[in-house]
Amino acid sequence: MGGESAAPSVRRAAVLGKPISHSRSPQLHLAAYRALGLDWTYDRIECTAEQLPGLVDGLGPEWVGLSVTMPGKEAALAYATERTERAVLVGSANTLVRIGVVSSDLQAVASGGGWRADCTDVDGVIGALRGGGVTELAEAVVLGAGGTARPALLALAELGAQQVTVIARDAGRARTALDLAERLGMTATVLGFDPAAIGAACARAGAVVSTIPAEAAAGVADQVATAPVVLDAIYNPWPTPLAAAVARAGHTVVSGLEMLLNQAYGQVEQFTGRPAPRAEMAASLEPREI
Q: Encode pLDDT of 41-61 as tens digits.
A: 999 999 999 999 999 999 999
Provide the total of helices (H) and of strands (E) in the chain, helices listed first.
Answer: 13, 12
User: Nearest-CA neighbor of 245 among 214, 223, 213?
Assistant: 223
Task: Output the pLDDT for position 8.
Answer: 59
Provide the number of structural domains found in the chain: 2
If you average pLDDT over residues 122-134, what whole number do you get? 98
What pLDDT shows up at residue 107? Answer: 44
pLDDT recorded at residue 112 = 53
Q: How confident is the model at residue 3 (pLDDT cuts 50, 70, 90)?
A: very low
pLDDT band at 1 (very low <50, low <70, confident <90, very high): very low
> Is 265 among the domain residues?
no
Q: What sign has the CA pseudo-torsion 68, 31, 267, 97?
A: positive
Residues 102 and 183 both lie in one domain? no
**Does 3 fall in a domain?**
no
The answer to whether residue 278 is domain-embedded is: no
209: which residues sit within 8 A by CB, 6+ positions away? 125, 129, 140, 141, 142, 143, 149, 152, 155, 156, 230, 231, 233
Q: Is residue 184 located within the same domain as residue 169?
A: yes
**At a CB cut-off of 8 Å and minimum separation 6, what does 275 contact?**
269
- Clarify whether residues 138 and 113 are in a common domain: no
pLDDT at 7: 55
155-171 per-position pLDDT tens digit: 999 999 999 999 998 88
Judge if 213 and 148 occupy the same domain: yes
Cβ-based neighbour number of residue 12 at 10 Å? 17
Do 140 and 252 reside in the same domain of the chain? yes
Q: What is the C-alpha to C-alpha distance for residues 10 and 250, in angstroms, rounded to an integer?
A: 48
Is 0.85 surpassed by the pTM of this model? yes
Query: What's the pLDDT tens digit per position in 46-103?
Result: 999 999 999 999 999 999 999 999 999 999 999 999 999 999 999 999 999 999 865 4
User: Contact, 270 vs 106, CB < 8 A?
Assistant: no
Asked whether residue 210 is domain-assigned, the answer is yes
Which residues are tagged catalytic? 73
What 8-state DSSP symbol labels residue 51? Answer: T
What residues are paired with 252 via a beta bridge? 229
- 173, with CB counted inside 10 A (0-12, 13-18, 19+), is middle
Q: Is 65 part of a structural domain of the chain? A: yes
Q: Are residues 46 and 111 in the same domain?
A: yes
Last residue of a domain, one of 72, 101, 119: 119
Percent with pLDDT over 90 in the chain: 87
The Cβ of residue 241 has, within 10 Å, a number of other Cβ atoms equal to 18
The domain containing residue 105 runs over which residues? 12-119
Please give the pLDDT value at position 102.
55
Task: With beta carbons less than 8 A apart as the criterion, state whether 117 and 93 touch.
Answer: yes
One domain, residues 77 and 129: no
Question: Is the domain of 159 the same as that of 237?
Answer: yes
109 domain-assigned: yes
In which element (H, E) is residue 42 found? strand 41-46
Q: Based on the fold, state whether residues 97 and 135 are members of the same structural domain.
A: no
DSSP for 141-197, please give it.
Answer: EEE--STTHHHHHHHHHHTT--EEEEE-S-TTTTHHHHHHHHHTT-EEEEE-S-HHH
Residue 54 resides in a domain: yes
Can you give the CATH number for the domain in which 186 is found? 3.40.50.720
Mean pLDDT of 25-33: 98
pLDDT, one tens digit per residue, over 176-220 is: 999 999 999 999 999 999 999 999 999 999 999 999 999 999 999
Q: Are 59 and 30 a contacting pair, CB within 8 Å? A: no
* Secondary structure of residue 64 in the 3-state scheme: strand
**Percent above pLDDT 70 for the chain:** 92
Q: Is residue 239 located within the same domain as residue 168?
A: yes
pLDDT of residue 4: 47
Residues 75 and 182 in one domain: no
Mean pLDDT of the chain: 92
Cis peptide bond upstream of 287, omega within 30 = yes
**pLDDT value at residue 170:** 87
Q: Kindly indicate the confidence band of residue 236, based on its pLDDT and cuts at 50, 70 and 90.
A: confident
> Residue 111 pLDDT > 80, yes or no?
no
The answer to whether residues 213 and 193 touch, using CB atoms and an 8 Å cutoff, is: no
**Average pLDDT of the residues in 26-41:** 98
